Structure 1
């Protein structure tokens, strides 16, 4: 169970931290937004989870961490799918609502995941595992940018991609909006598929939690 929870944690960190980077690329490099305007559109991705974090922890205590974790992950998974499907045409209201829902799912998933991980660790090993927890956290953040760029390079050449990432309207000036959008869709589909894998880990952790009392009785 500790191994599954750790893998789930690492996947969730990489996937969630990749979203702001990919969305910044989308808003500035494809939608031609200024950095300040793009930043305003990304506020809904963070605001709800700042307010709902304590509520997510309370629900994890009351209903159980595994159930709330599964609900939070399901919300994020469906929202990422909706976000991926709307990349070809930017709808401001739908975009903002989708980011709000992702943030709500994140507020439910993170407290539950932290509780599920640390509750499975013996007290005498809690210090060492806390160090491992934040090591995985930092590794996940470090891997976000290179993995995002790597996934988009399957469609766009590196020289073109580097210019679009700067947000200097290179895509619109050179008729590359379609290719840039396809590269971004590929990156988001990668996020979606890996999040499906994260959901599998979540279900496996839940099933192990249910079956463990049976094995203990035997």
Structure 2
């Protein structure tokens, strides 16, 4: 298990084209590894917000909520996967939902590594050196986007342009899904309130 958690993800990290090809066509990717990387990212983000040095940490420790961190990492992850799968199904994409989850999970590895690294760096740097902290953070995001782009292109067998369009449309579909979910719960809340008001009115009259 330890070898699975390190060998293929780090190979994808350094050789994304071949790595994602092997993930799809050589069955070298593991769903549990991708979800394990997602879990590590959640842990790294929580630790970074709590234990980053005071030079770059503007969070009040007692206001931090681990459940909130789950919401801003885990939910967007699966929302991206669902939106991408729904969209690419209509755009002749060859990627299965499982492969999309694995691709997205493996692409998160730079964020995991650099956030754990930033925890250590932030506690030894000075205010003048804080630019290195933000540079590393920005680099990890760019690396993640690059890996996600290559992974999407490889898994669905798209061209560069079609991959760019698909990723932008995926973000748009994510917005639509969020809107529909919020609309559904809003209507459900109104229906429940309406039923309760009728029940209360009948109770007072009987």
TM-score, normalising length from structure 1?
A: 0.36
TM-score w.r.t. length of structure 2:
0.37
Select the structure that is richer in helix.
1
Larger Rg, first or second structure (1 or 2):
2
Greater length-normalized contact order (CA 8 Å, ≥ 6 residues apart): 1
